[in-house]
Structures are given as structure tokens and as C-alpha cells.
């Protein structure tokens, strides 16, 4: 019954809020609990700064351990690869398990195991049983080496009550070989759940480079200050452009997204300030430009169809791209450099700009 009620609430929320966002009902729930999620995450995992001012970069995925249709949240900090799993089918948001340098997570159906070292000569394993998207049972095994007996002792609990190692082994540990690393194919930028950046502040160059693969992708996005945006995407190999797609008209921004739908080519770009999420499809079924792009903080726009990069040697802005022309696009004498929140002079125009 509780599951039916939760699904009903999710459907109502989805109908009300999806008019303004691209999020699913489960994503909407998690977006409404961002502060709680981040507090729980930081309490359980060390958080590493990637550089001063920007803070760590997070991605998330949605998984369904118990197959009930209500999705669990997998949050991951992509530099240190720390992560945590959350569910929301119980009375409140719950953290299922965390993974970092001292905690490894594996799954066997609807049972999630977190294990790792617990000090010199000690090891821990905890098992969360997920049913109706809530933790219904919780078991722990603390293993400690006994120097006097030269054996490993076990302290086991199930739902807060002490149990024997024999019982624990029969119900959990005997299945340890069936536990595997959790899998997720689609990673989304965490800003998708938390970003409230105004669309007037998304102009910039965004970059995506996949680990272990040659080349990199860029996406230039420019807004016109009138609720429209323009984009061009490129693939570089050995610093030469090998493929790309350029739009020749302004597109209206809807739900933080611009979309182009051609006869055999479709692409949409969700804009979140520090990052973009690109979804592409075409007649050959290739999706090379799809994925998350992170913004070069030295790039910015003037809300008039121009894109700049800051030149630290010349101490000013260099025009690097323009959106599609609607009449004459003026190049101002000064522009606001968003990253440092100050006006800077326009000191040049890149030779590629027409």
C-alpha cells in the first residue's frame, strides 16, 4: 500500500513540476532534498576539492536494486571517485552505503554490501536489504584477528540484535561470491538536480574528454539575452577539428534546454552554468557528442550574441565566436568577466570569427 501511495505522489509531483523541468519523479524528489543528501554524503565520505572556488564535481545515476520501479540515487564525486547510494521509499531519505578508499560496495539483487578495513587486523561488512525502495533489514559483521587463538573472531548483528557467525554466514556470507560491483550506464551532472543558474549566465565554451580515449569535445553556447541560445559542437584530435555541428539560427530556451530536430539529426543541450548535458541522435545511431561537458571558466558571453575568452597576458577579453546574425551584432568596448565579476576591455578578435 505504501508503495502505491508513494508512486501516486510521485506521479502528481511529476505532472506539476515536469512542466518546468526535465526531471523524472524520482529526480524531483532527490532535488528537493539536496542539502540533506550532501550533508549525509559529507558525514560518511571525505570530500576533496578539485580547485579553489569551484568545489568538487559530482555526477549521479539512477539504479533500481529491488525492481519496484522507484529509483535509488547513486551519487559519485568523479575526481576521487567517492560515492554513496540513497533510497526514499521509507519514512525518510536513507543512505544505503558509501564507497571510497576504505569502503567497497557490491550488490546481489536487492542486497547492498559495503565492506572494507576497520583498523589493524580488522575488517567490516554491512548488508542492507532493499524492499519497496527502503532499507528493511540491516546486518553487520566485524571481523578481528585474535592473536591468542590465531583465528578470526566475528561480531555479527542483524537488525540491531546479536547473531552467531554460523547464522550470519548461512544467510549472508555464503552468498559473497554472488556480489558484484554495481553498474550504471548513464551518468548525469549533479547540477541537473541542484542548479538554479539564470540562463543569462550560461554562455561559454564547455569541454568533455573521456578517460582513456584520444581527442576531446567542445561545445560553444551563446545566449542573446532574449530567451534564446545558439550552439556549435566540435571534436578535436591532435588539436585539429575532425568533426562538428554548427547551428545557423537561435533556438528558444525551454526548461533550461535548447533542442534542434532535423530530418536525420537531433541534439538537445541542457544548460546548468558550470556544465552542459548533451543528448544526440542521428541516422547512423552514433552519439559521439552525447555526455557531460564542463565549462572553461575563462570563457563568457555578453548576452548580445558574442562569446569571449579572457587573455591573461593582454588583461582583456578576446572575441572567439558569434551566434547567428540577426542584423548587426555589436562588439562592445568592455564586457563583464563573470568568473572574476569585473568589467574588462575587449582587446582582440580571434581570426576564426567572421
Domain boundaries, the chain: 2-178, 195-349
In contact, 280 and 191? CB cutoff 8 Å: no
Query: Alpha-carbon torsion 310, 311, 313, 314, what sign?
Result: negative
pLDDT grade, residue 48 (50/70/90)? low
Question: pLDDT at residue 102 above 80?
Answer: no
| Residue from 185, 233, 220, 204 nearest 61 by CA | 185
Q: What angle do CA 187, 247, 253 make, to 5 degrees?
A: 60
pLDDT grade, residue 2 (50/70/90)? very low
Question: Residue 57 is inside which H or E element, if any?
Answer: none
Backbone angles phi, psi at 164, to 5 degrees: -80, 155
Cα–Cα distance, 201 to 193 (Å, whole number): 18
Question: pLDDT at residue 75 above 90?
Answer: yes
In contact, 127 and 138? CB cutoff 8 Å: yes
Specify the pTM: 0.80
Q: How far is CA 209 from CA 129, 212, 217, 293, 320, in A?
A: 37, 9, 6, 8, 21
Question: pLDDT at residue 169 above 80?
Answer: yes
pLDDT digits (tens, 9 = 90+) for 184-205: 888 899 999 987 888 888 999 9
pLDDT grade, residue 217 (50/70/90)? very high
pLDDT digits (tens, 9 = 90+) for 266-282: 899 999 988 999 998 87
In contact, 290 and 245? CB cutoff 8 Å: no
pLDDT digits (tens, 9 = 90+) for 82-99: 889 999 987 689 999 988
In contact, 231 and 220? CB cutoff 8 Å: yes
Amino acid at each position: 500500500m505504501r508503495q502505491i501511495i508513494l508512486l501516486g505522489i510521485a506521479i502528481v509531483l511529476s505532472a506539476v513540476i515536469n512542466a518546468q523541468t526535465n526531471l523524472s519523479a524520482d529526480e524531483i524528489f532527490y532535488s528537493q532534498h539536496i542539502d540533506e543528501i550532501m550533508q549525509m554524503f559529507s558525514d560518511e565520505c571525505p570530500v576533496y576539492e578539485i580547485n579553489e572556488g569551484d568545489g568538487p564535481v559530482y555526477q549521479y545515476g539512477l539504479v533500481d536494486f529491488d525492481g519496484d520501479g522507484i529509483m535509488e540515487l547513486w551519487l559519485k564525486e568523479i575526481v576521487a571517485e567517492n560515492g554513496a547510494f540513497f533510497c526514499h521509499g521509507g519514512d525518510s531519505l536513507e543512505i544505503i552505503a558509501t564507497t571510497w578508499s576504505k569502503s567497497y560496495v557490491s550488490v546481489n539483487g536487492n542486497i547492498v554490501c559495503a565492506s572494507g578495513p576497520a583498523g589493524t587486523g580488522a575488517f567490516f561488512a554491512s548488508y542492507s536489504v532493499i524492499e519497496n525502495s527502503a532499507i528493511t533489514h540491516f546486518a553487520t559483521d566485524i571481523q578481528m584477528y585474535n592473536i591468542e587463538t590465531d583465528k578470526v573472531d566475528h561480531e555479527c548483528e542483524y537488525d540491531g540484535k546479536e547473531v552467531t557467525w554460523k547464522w550470519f554466514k548461512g544467510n549472508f556470507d555464503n552468498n559473497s561470491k554472488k556480489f558484484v560491483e554495481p553498474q550504471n550506464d548513464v551518468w548525469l551532472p549533479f547540477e541537473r538536480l541542484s542548479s538554479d543558474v539564470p540562463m543569462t549566465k550560461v554562455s561559454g565554451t564547455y569541454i568533455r574528454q573521456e578517460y582513456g580515449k584520444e581527442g576531446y569535445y567542445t561545445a560553444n553556447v551563446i545566449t542573446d539575452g532574449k530567451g534564446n541560445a545558439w550552439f556549435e559542437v566540435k571534436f578535436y584530435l591532435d588539436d585539429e577539428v575532425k568533426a562538428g555541428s554548427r547551428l545557423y539560427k537561435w533556438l528558444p530556451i525551454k526548461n533550461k534546454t535548447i533542442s534542434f530536430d532535423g530530418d536525420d539529426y537531433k541534439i538537445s543541450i541542457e544548460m546548468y552554468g558550470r556544465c552542459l548535458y548533451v543528448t544526440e541522435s542521428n541516422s547512423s545511431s552514433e552519439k559521439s557528442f552525447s555526455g557531460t561537458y564542463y565549462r572553461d571558466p575563462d570563457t563568457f558571453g555578453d548576452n548580445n550574441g558574442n562569446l569571449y575568452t579572457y587573455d591573461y597576458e593582454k588583461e582583456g577579453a578576446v572575441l572567439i565566436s558569434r551566434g547567428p546574425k540577426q542584423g548587426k551584432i555589436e562588439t562592445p568596448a568592455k564586457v563583464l568577466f563573470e568568473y572574476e565579476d569585473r568589467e574588462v576591455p575587449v582587446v582582440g578578435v580571434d581570426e576564426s570569427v567572421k
